[in-house]
Amino acid sequence: MTEPQDSPRRPFDIKEALARVEAAVRPYPRAALFELAESGYRSPFQVAVACIISTRTLDEVTLTVARRLFAWAATPAQVVGLSPTEVEALIKGCAFATTKAGQIRTLAERALFELGGDLPCDEQALRSLPGIGPKCASLVLGIACGQPRVAVDTHVHRVVRRWGYVSARTPEETMRALEARVPIRYWLDLNRLLVPFGKHICRPGIARCSICPLTDMCARVGVTSGA
Question: Which residues of the chain form contacts with ligand SF4 (CB under 6 A)?
Answer: 162-163, 201-202, 207-209, 212, 214-215, 218, 220, 223, 226
**Least CB distance to ligand SF4 at residue 162 (A):** 4
Q: Which is nearer to ligand SF4, 144 or 212 (CB)?
A: 212
Angle between helices 59-72 and 44-54 (to 10 degrees): 140
Asked whether the CA dihedral 145, 181, 156, 102 is positive or negative, the reply is: negative
Q: Which is nearer to ligand SF4, 92 or 208 (CB)?
A: 208
How many C-alpha atoms does 227 have within 13 Å on its Cβ side? 9
Beta bridge partners of 94: 92
Q: Which is nearer to ligand SF4, 107 or 159 (CB)?
A: 159
Interacting residues of 28 by C-beta distance below 8 A, sequence separation 6+: 196, 199, 200
Q: Which is nearer to ligand SF4, 68 or 199 (CB)?
A: 199
In single-letter form, the type of residue at position 89 comes to A
The helix (run of H) or strand (run of E) holding residue 123 is helix 123-127
**Least CB distance to ligand SF4 at residue 154 (A):** 14
